[in-house]
Structure formats: structure tokens, C-alpha cells
Amino acid sequence: MVVRNWWRALTAAAVLVALGGPLAAAAEPADYERVVNGNFDSGAADPWWTGAGTAGHVAGGEFCVDVTGGTTNGWEALVGQNGVPYEAGQSYTLRFDARATTPQPIAAVAGEAVEPFRQVAKLDANLTTERQTFTFTFTSSLDFPAAGNGQLTFWLGGQSFDNTVCVDNVSLVGGVLPPPGLEPAPPIRVNQVGYVPGLPKQASLATDSTTPLPWTLRNASGVAVASGRTVPKGLDAGSGENVHLIDFSRYDTPGTGYTLSVGADTSFPFDISTTALTGLRYDSLAFFYHQRSGTPIEERYVGAAYARPAGHVNVAPNQGDDNVPCRADLACGYTLDVRGGWYDAGDHGKYVVNGGIAAWQLQNSYERTAILGDARELGDGTLAIPEQHNGVPDVLDEARWEVEFLLRMQVPDGQPLAGMAHHKIHDQQWTGLPTRPDQDPQPRRLSAPSTAATLNLAAAAAQASRLWKKYDPAFASRALAAAEKAYAAAKAHPDMLADPNDGQGGGTYSDDNVTDEFYWAAAELFATTGRYRADVMASPLYAGRSITVGGFDWAATGPLGDVTLAIVPTSLPARDVSAIRAALVATADQHLTNMAAAGHPAPYSNADGRYEWGSNGQVANNGMVLALAYDLTHRPKYRDGAFTALNYLLGRNPTNYSYVAGYGDQPVRNVHHRFWANQLDPSLPTAPPGALSGGPNSGLQDPVAARLLTGCAPQRCFVDHVEAYSVNEVAINWNSALAWLANWTAEQSTAQGACRVTYQAHTSDRGVTGQVTLRNTSTTTWPGWTLRFAFTGNEKLRNGRSATWTQHGRDVTATSHRQIPLGGTVTVGFTASERGEHTAPVRFAVNGDICGA
């Protein structure tokens, strides 16, 4: 959420209006309500903001604002709402209820939120301790469209004493222009980037027709290369439209600039290529370098438009992150050096609970490729960051930038809560838009430690320790020591929950249940040390019980522990590992069932059908579940489902936007961000390639979305506007989900052409007998071949046939000098002893290429 409060002097042309006194005669106003959430019945204040010297909360159905005394002018303490529309020459009636703990005068002001801060009208009201209703009517001399720069504020300053002012039932009715509603979207929705040969290729069509319609696929020259008929799916709940399916999967010829046409309608162009999605794996990771705090973002890595000085390093006007005190009411008695880390979202806050899951997801992306995939494409020198070519995989270098910050958020030794982690650090007040990080003048403050933050630190640092052990043993040791200290502190303080009212200057990230964080942290510590097994197995979430179709996020982290236990070899019983994997696969099946019924399929599910804040991040996270189900089973339906999730994010959705900046012909540009704010300041850039918008959100918690999208169908609740923070903000945990999925789909795009594997095995009291059939589906003959896979349990190779077999640890290699022509197959086999259950290997590679099923 963002707050914009403007308290500059208003123009001399401001019109003063006495209580209840109208301005010049005007036309009868229409019954259009222009204020959003004026009765505060939801229990939340959004989209009302509070300014310097004020702090607001909803209590008893009123919006009550604590005001610090000692100001001279009314506009030095503000509360308000932006995006309020006014029409020149039209009449408006403002009504509100108000009271104060101590009687004082206030003013209600209609005007402009940006320079030159012109004023439409000002009402002076004298508040008493009793609730009163105030009403006045005025005619606007200015034009501000919906979601423009119009504003309604209450001036609460100018008093020597502290006070609390409460308002309710705020209403502004008038004007003749109805709310603009949803912007139209072209009817044919495709992945605007590209489709992969050999995989399903589908698009969606919104149409009133209830019968099949002819479609045509054309190449870049306009030549028809394929055709067919649409498949009606009926009324689609997600979009509120009648939708047809277009399936052109049989066409596999690589090329660029393909389009689909139905009648006079034509889609955005797209490619068919094994490399169409390659760039996204790197641009989605580049997002994190852009978001780094405490270091200059250099032109040689991001280009001139996105380069900027270091933010929050104690260079004026910054007050710096090197010596940050606790919030005044906490009086912790120490300061912390919390430089570094990633800015969480569009604001300048840094949050441990969001940083933990984001760092974990980047690290897991690498760990998963090292165990199940191809780690070469995430190796050293693959990202444009200062640490490239240092001998360490770049994705681990990027994640370390955040992990080091997490360690700095730990309460120092000798303090009462030593080992705990502070929940967050951000500006004392919300920073206005736009504000480049190095130009932020706000004081920085630490919020209280929390159990959730402490366990996030423990989990991410324990994971980092095992991944860094061979690259930097000293850092690995330091990370593990911090993780174990944090876990012990969390067990000693298991119920220190983040304050849900601590939302001044930064998001609350409050979480009233930390059972999932305890399980996740124990799982990471166990996977790294071999200890903590009892804690893992004693958790009520053990063995996949928290893996559901609802997905995971910063407040639901249990599945992160399960993902680690599903793919990282440990001493857990094989039956329990199988149960975790089965839970992942069962959830993937639920996603596929839901997607099959949708007109614009996405792995996203809520019982009420609504979409929530950050839905695109959840789509990507659930795409990760589908991808892991494919890794674990090699069943093509899960692979296809993961690609379908990415198709939705890249344009096959009812808004017809690619939600990834820089990708497609209609990508998001104006994400909510204080530096990427070109819409407000043309000298600033738009969002860089690879940044993921939060996406559709039925809640519409900001004034721009609320005014433009009222009544929207769930998947249509989106607008590409820099101030529409509830639908169009960016966040590190959403981009980490995109980066994970983008890396996986890029890997699978090239793997489709390499080889295919069929694995069969049966067990008896004498052990396991396995058979592997390889098919050469690459572009060249294999002059010889080397097959590699890993046992998942304690199997020991006895012998093999039709190849030379060896085993080192769990890694098995079969080598042959036999030539395999294109399309040719070979079947090899082995026998092995085992203790316990046998689970099929999850990855097979031939000559270094990952094989599909």
C-alpha cells in the first residue's frame, strides 16, 4: 500500500466555504458516489491515507486518527483519499460525521494532489467530543477524471496538543459522468511471447457465439498455415464472458510473428520456438538486482534508464540503514546496521517474512536444478550482477544479498530477545510517489521482533548454509549458526506475533499462526544438519499435510519444508517421502481439474471464486507445484499444466495483458513503484523487463482500482496504473515465484527435443529390478551415450546389462559406445539391493540433456 499526502500551500484562488454554506448555484448533482470506503464497514481504512504526525486505525466502525500536536497550520497533519473525480461546473455534496477527544477545528478540502495543488473548496468545521454530521455543497471549477489527481483531505493540524479525531460516513455525491468501468479487451487471448514445439498450444476466445467458429493460424507473412474450429466452453466464471477454446497444438513449425484469427479479430503475435521463454528466466531474476538496497544499481548491468545511486546509505537526504533504532514505543535500547537486502515491493520497506520466502525460492530454484534438472543455466556468469564470474552460481550470489540482510535483523547477543529477528524495517511514514530510494528523506525504524520473522531467518539461512558449503565454508558456517540460534529463540518465544496494526509507513505482514514456519524451519535445519528430525516428524503438518490447492505464500510456508524434504536426500523414512510427493501430485491433479473447466485456465482456486491481492504470484507458486509433480512423475499432463500457468501470466487471460513487463505486445508498464514511475514523471522509467505485476484482485483496496473496476469479474479486476497498488504492485515473493517457474519452463523447453525415458521397476524380497528405455529425440545421432540418474533411497547397485554401470553414493551412471540413430531406442536394466520402499528416480539425463517422459 502507498500513501500520498500533500500539504503544500494551496493557491490564492482557494474558495473558503462556511459550514453548510453552498457555493455558486450549480446543476443538480447525479447520484454517483465519489468516495471509496467512506463508512469503514470493512474494518479497514484503505484507500484512506494518513500523513506526517498522524496515525490512523478503524475502531468501532469509525476511522480514528491520532494527531501529534505542535503544528502551526491545518495542512501539517492530514488524512485523505486520492483519485477523487471532479467535473468543472458540476455540483457536489459532501457529508461526514466527526468528533474529537478534545474539541478542535478541522477543515475538509477538495482539491488537487499534485503541483500546483489547486483547491476546489474548503469546509471549516468545529469538532466537539460528541459526534456531529456536517454537510455542504459546492460547484467544482476544475476537472479531474476518475483515478486522476483529484483529492479529498481532512486538515487536522494547527493545534498545540495531541488529539484523536474520528470520522465516519464520508460521502461525496455529484457529477454527471458515470464511473468509467472496465477497459475493453480484444477477444483472442494468447501467450504473447511464445509456445514450445511438441507441447500444447491453446488460446481463448471471448464471443457471444454458442456454436463453434472457424479459426486460422497465420505466419508472419500472413499466410494461413493451420485452421480448425473453436470449442465452446460456455459462460466462464473467472472472466464473466462466454469463452471458446482454440487448440492449435498439432502445428509445431518454429517461427516468429504467428497470429490467430477468428472472423475479423486477430490476436497479438507470438513465436513457436524452443527458446521463446529463455530470456524470461534471466530477466525475472534481474528484478532482484534492481531491488537491491544499499548499493548503486550500475548502468553496465541494467542500462542507463534503470541505473540509480545507492539507497539508504546515510547520504543526504537519506538517513540511512546503518544505525536504525526501534520504533519509539518499543524502546529496545539498541540500533542495528541493516544495510543491504532487497526493497520488498514498490515501497522502500524491507520485510523478513517476505524476504525469507523470496530468498528460499531463488535458492530452491538452484537446488532443484542441481538435483532434478540442469544447473548449468543458473551457473556463474549467467546473470548481469556485480558478483558474476566469482566461481559461484549467480542465483546464489543474488539470494545471498538478501540472506545477509536477514542475518543483520537478528537481535544481538546480550539483549533480552537475543536470536530473535525484527519483523521489518521501513520509513517512519509512507513515502510519496515518485521517490527514488536515494532521495527518500524519511527516518527509518525497526518494528518489534516476531516469531514468524525469526523462523523465516532460520529456514532461509539453514538452506543457504548447505548450498554455500562448497563455495564459502565460512559463510555457510555463519549462516547455520544464525539459523540455529534463531530456531532456539523462536522455540523460547513461540507466540510473538506481528502487530496487525503496525501499518504506518509499511505493510504489516501479520500472521496469527506460525505452526507452518516452525515446520519449514525444522525441515531446512534437518536437511542441512541431519538433526532436528524429531521436530520435523512431530509437526502436525508433517508429510504433506499443508499442501493444498490453496497454495503457499509468505503466510503459509509449510509446503516449502515439504518441497525440500521431497527433493533433498535425507534420512526420513521412504514411505514419508513418498507421502509428501503424493500430496504434491494430488494437489497438482486438483489444479488440473479446476483448470480444465476454466475459459482462461490458471492454477488458482478460492472457495468463493474471488481473486486476492498478489494472485499472479499465487498462480506462479501453484505452477511450481505442477512443475514439481512432473519432476516426480514425468507425466506430461503436469508439465503441460505448468506451461499453461505461464501462458496465463503472459497474456492468455481476460485482460489481454502480459503481466510481465517487457514481454508481449501489451505488457504491463505502470506497476506501482516509487522509481519505475514514468506515468507520474516522464523522466523516470517504466517497469524493467521481467517484473511481475500482482495481478487481478477482487478486493480493489486502492482508489484507482475501486473507481475503475467496481463490479469486475474476478480475472478482470486489473488496471495497469502506477497508483493502483492493490492490483499492480510488484513484490519480491511474486517475482521469486515467476523466476522459479520461468527457469523450469525454459529448461523443459529445450529438454523436449533431447531424449525420452520410460522407467519400470518391481521389487521383491531379493531387491529391485529396473528397466530403462531411452529414445533419441534430439537432432543428431548419438555416437555413444551416458545415462545418469539417482536412487531416491538406500538402493545399492548389484549389476547391470547392456551398458557399463557404476554407482557413487546415490548417483548411478550407465555408459555405452553403441550408436543410437535419430528416433532409435535402447533398453537397459539393472538389479539392486534395497532397504525399505523403492521410489522411482525423478530425473534422467542422457549426454547431459534432461530427458522428458
- Catalytic residue ranges: 347, 672, 720, 729
User: In the 8-state DSSP scheme, what is residue 200?
Assistant: -
Burial class (CB in 10 A: 0-12, 13-18, 19+), 250: exposed
Which has the closest alpha carbon to 435: 668, 681, 671, 670? 681
Q: What angle do CA 527, 531, 534 make, to 5 degrees?
A: 100
Q: Which residues pair with 771 in a beta bridge?
A: 760, 829
Residue 647 in grid coordinates: 501462458
Q: CA-CA distance, 566 to 527, in Å (whole number)?
A: 11
The x, y and z cell numbers of residue 208, run together, are 457471444
Q: What is the distance between the alpha carbons of residues 445 and 684, in angstroms, rounded to a whole number?
A: 27
C-alpha–C-alpha distance, residues 720 and 616, integer Å: 14
Q: What is d(CA 742, CA 623) in angstroms, rounded to the nearest whole number?
A: 10
The answer to whether 738 touches 649, Cβ cutoff 8 Å, is yes
To which residue does cell 483529484 refer?
Answer: 150
3-state SS class at 107: strand
Sign of CA dihedral 300, 305, 306, 311: positive
According to DSSP, the β-strands at 335-336 and 324-325 are antiparallel
Query: How many C-beta neighbours within 10 Å does residue 797 have?
Result: 18
Strand-pair category, 150-155 with 104-112: antiparallel
CA nearest to 526, candidates 552, 561, 482, 559? 561
Structural contact between residues 539 and 576, judged by C-beta atoms closer than 8 angstroms = no
Cβ proximity of 399 and 475 under 8 Å: no
Decide: 459 and 441 in contact? Cβ < 8 Å: no
Q: DSSP label at 74?
A: G
Do 519 and 452 meet the contact criterion of CB atoms below 8 Å apart?
no
Closest CA to 321 of 304, 337, 341: 337
